Amino acid sequence: MVVQALAFYLFAVVLVLSALMVITARNPVHSVLFLILAFFNAAGLFVLLGAEFIGMILVIVYVGAVAVLFLFVVMMLDINFSDLRKGAMQFVPIGLLIGGILLFELGTLYATWQFAPAVQEKLAAAASVAIEADNTKALGEILYTKYFLPFQMAGMILFVAMIGAIVLTLRHRPGVRRQKVSLQHARRAEDVLEIQKVPSGTGV
Amino acid sequence: MMEFVLWIWGFWIARTVVFTLLVTVGLLLAVAYLTYAERKVMGAMQRRQGPMTVGPFGLLQPIADGIKLFSKETIIPEQAHRVVFLMAPMILFALSLIAWVVIPFDKDWVLANINVGILYLFAISSMGVYGVVMAGWASNSRYAFLGALRSASQMVSYEVSMGLIIVCVLLVAGSLNLQEIVLAPRPFWTQVLLFPMFIVFTISILAETNRAPFDLPEGESEITGGFMVEYSAMTFALFFLGEYANMILMSAIAVTLFLGGWLPPFGLAFLSFVPGIIWFALKVAFMLFVFIWARATLPRFRYDQLMRLGWKVFLPLTLVWVVMTAGLLMTFNALPGQNDGAYAYESTANIPANIKAEQ
């Protein structure tokens, strides 16, 4: 238990600090690297909660794919960030206002949050089921039965978004020479090669 | 009671420490002699001798190379981002080490027998790209940056099909735990079904470890060594170690998923007197031989060919295979857990009878 508590505080502290560094680091690449550290610690917290499947998926999806693309884009962009920062101070009042509203809303939400009366029993029942099956299996069983429709709909929405991105960036450029592998494979020596006997002393 | 708990704790910690040391030292030795094997095998394939002057048959050559790298001067370029520059090789090396905790070497020889072992491996291997990208960016050099970009896009592309291949194996084995994947009963026809995926996986791990014929990130002929261009001495040695340790790791994953891990080959019971770790090592050595073989045989891909292979060939193929595997398993009532775990065809040929009896 002590080890778990220590691990929790370690992950939590590093998570909060790296999240802070994401928004304060001067170099955008450093920001992304701190963001990755934050993802990683969040995954650690999930594992501590016993949700090892979600922890691993968090690392695979966010650290392994999303953050790589972030890093890619940020590295490729050659923006002079000190120029961008020059006028930043004039937006501080608006930023504070939006932050304040969000904080207020979250505060009211938290103050009025109540649990349904029977929730404790249900929680206990769920836990006993989850302990029997390991949590990957438990997730799969609930995802593909009870939440089948929302799950598939989320997949469909992502699919449409993907197609949209492809359609937006697709352009047909004329005059581009592309390798057509099937044509290359279909080529036979007889079609393109001709063996000629050249008598010595004469040209072809 | 408290003393007993403490005693168990102490025992557990001691066991973990010893095991970790064994794995780490063993891995470093394996890396050293993998470089030796690579030079010898490629030498033989190209009718050369390979290293032969340091020690008998040149056996001390890797040690000499190691000492040379240790004693050289570490150069950090003036324009480099120092912290990131130094962190990159460490991350690459550390990642290639921490993945080993979930690999089952033998029946009880696994450091952390976790439920989501294969996902853990996938997560760790998908992070390998950061070492490379950070190195390329922090070096502040054109060649290094180009190498890093190539590597990032290549690793991300091939990971997708690797994930789908892993799903195929999971469908047959019915568990994310690596030990259970090894011991899962696999009827002969499912092994036939998985064999094409084994081939695709082997090619994908070549791309994932930036090895020939997919070694564009290094591409010494066009970008003079890619992301490692600015690294010297120990920082370079860490990259080198990490890269070769990654090769061994990927081989170990392929062996665990497809070649039956530490089980004797073809489920032959009379072969199980040989310790499982020997079989495991032999199988990994075979995979590594394939790595070297490919490097000595095949010319490097062009970049667009590499991307075409990943996205237009492997991705559709593996996707279709996942659906087909699921469909076939469902049809023949052979999904794990279906039919109360009893298989329609009880020819679980991959596990020797005596090991099955022990379970």
pLDDT of amino acid A90: 80
Q: What is the pLDDT of residues B294-304, one digit of tens each?
A: 988 888 888 88
* Residue in B81, B152, B308 nearest the CB of A68: B152
Answer whether B126 sits within 8 Å of A63, measured CB to CB: yes
B275 phi/psi in degrees, rounded to 5: -55, 145
Mean pLDDT score, A181-188: 86
| B307 closest CA partner among B214, B218, B220 | B214
Whether B323 has a pLDDT exceeding 90, the answer reads yes
Mean pLDDT score, A117-145: 70
Q: Which of B120, B145, B149, B151 to mutate to test the interface with A (most CBs of A within 10 A)?
A: B120
Residues of B (152-171) whose Cβ lies below 8 Å from A: 152-153, 156, 159, 163
Exposure b/e, B257-285, CB count within 10 A at least 16 = b: bbbbbbbbeebeeeebeeebeebbbebbb
Q: Which of A29, A32, A58, A60 to mutate to test the interface with B (most CBs of B within 10 A)?
A: A60
Residues of B (303-342) whose Cβ lies below 8 Å from A: 304-305, 308
Q: How confident is the model at residue A158 (pLDDT cuts 50, 70, 90)?
A: very high
Query: Which whole-number Å values give the CA distances from B315 to A67, B32, B65, B204, B307, in the listed order?
Result: 22, 35, 40, 11, 11
Residues 6+ apart with CB under 8 A from B223: B143, B146, B147, B150, B229
pLDDT of amino acid A16: 93
Whether B357 has a pLDDT exceeding 90, the answer reads no
pLDDT of amino acid B84: 86
Instruction: Tell me how far apart the alpha carbons of residues B118 and B125 are, in angstroms, rounded to a whole number.
Output: 11
Mean pLDDT score, A72-86: 72
Q: Does B217 or B312 have the greater pLDDT score?
A: B312
pLDDT of amino acid B345: 45
Contacts of A64 in chain B (CB under 8 A): 122-123, 126-127, 129, 159
The full DSSP string for B285-354 is HHHHHHHHHHHHHPPPPPHHHHHHIIIIIIHHHHHHHHHHHHHHHHHTT-STTGGGG--SS---TTS-HH
Q: Does B346 or A12 have the greater pLDDT score?
A: A12
The full DSSP string for A139-204 is HHHHHTTTTHHHHHHHHHHHHHHHHHHHHHH----TT-----HHHHHH--HHHH-------TTS--
Answer whether B84 sits within 8 Å of A68, measured CB to CB: no
Task: Answer yes or no: are the C-beta atoms of B143 and B77 closer than 8 Å.
Answer: no
Q: What is the pLDDT of residues B205-257, one digit of tens each?
A: 888 888 878 887 776 667 777 777 788 888 888 888 888 998 999 999 999 88
Instruction: Tell me how far apart the alpha carbons of residues B294 and B314 are, in angstroms, rounded to a whole number.
Output: 18
pLDDT of amino acid B353: 63
Instruction: Tell me how far apart the alpha carbons of residues B81 and B307 are, in angstroms, rounded to a whole number.
Output: 30
pLDDT of amino acid A38: 92
* Residue in B156, B176, B308 nearest the CB of A65: B156
Answer whether B127 sits within 8 Å of A63, measured CB to CB: yes
- Of chain A, the percentage scoring pLDDT greater than 70 comes to 88
Residue B118 structure tokens: 């294969």
User: Residue B264 gets which letter from DSSP?
Assistant: P
Angle (deg, nearest 10), helices A28-48 and A2-24: 160
Please name the residue of chain A whose CA is at the shortest distance from the CA of residue B154. Answer: A68
Instruction: Tell me how far apart the alpha carbons of residues B18 and B15 are, in angstroms, rounded to a whole number.
Output: 5
Answer whether A29 sits within 8 Å of B127, measured CB to CB: no
Whether B348 has a pLDDT exceeding 70, the answer reads no
Answer whether A60 sits within 8 Å of B305, measured CB to CB: no
Four-residue CA torsion sign, A128, A133, A136, A142: negative
pLDDT of amino acid B198: 92
Task: Answer yes or no: are the C-beta atoms of B351 and B183 closer than 8 Å.
Answer: yes
Look-up: residue for tokens 């001798």? B49
Alpha carbons within 13 angstroms on the beta-carbon side of residue B275 total: 7
Neighbour tally for A78: CB within 10 Å:
5
**A45/B contact by beta carbon, under 8 A:** no
pLDDT of amino acid B341: 47
* Residue in B123, B305, B308 nearest the CB of A60: B123
| B316 closest CA partner among B161, B172, B171 | B161
Answer whether A60 sits within 8 Å of B176, measured CB to CB: no
| B213 closest CA partner among B221, B355, B324 | B221
Helix/strand/coil (H/E/C) assignment for every residue in B210-225? CCCCCCCCCCHHHHCC
B284 phi/psi in degrees, rounded to 5: -60, -40
Average pLDDT over chain B, rounded to an integer = 83
Instruction: Tell me how far apart the alpha carbons of residues B104 and B283 are, in angstroms, rounded to a whole number.
Output: 13
Contacts of B134 in chain A (CB under 8 A): 33
Mean pLDDT score, B80-105: 87
Answer whether B115 sits within 8 Å of A56, measured CB to CB: no
Whether B6 has a pLDDT exceeding 50, the answer reads yes
CA distance B120 to chain A (A): 6
- Of chain B, the percentage scoring pLDDT greater than 70 comes to 91
Mean pLDDT score, A28-52: 87
Instruction: Tell me how far apart the alpha carbons of residues B273 and B346 are, in angstroms, rounded to a whole number.
Output: 24
Mean pLDDT score, B312-335: 88
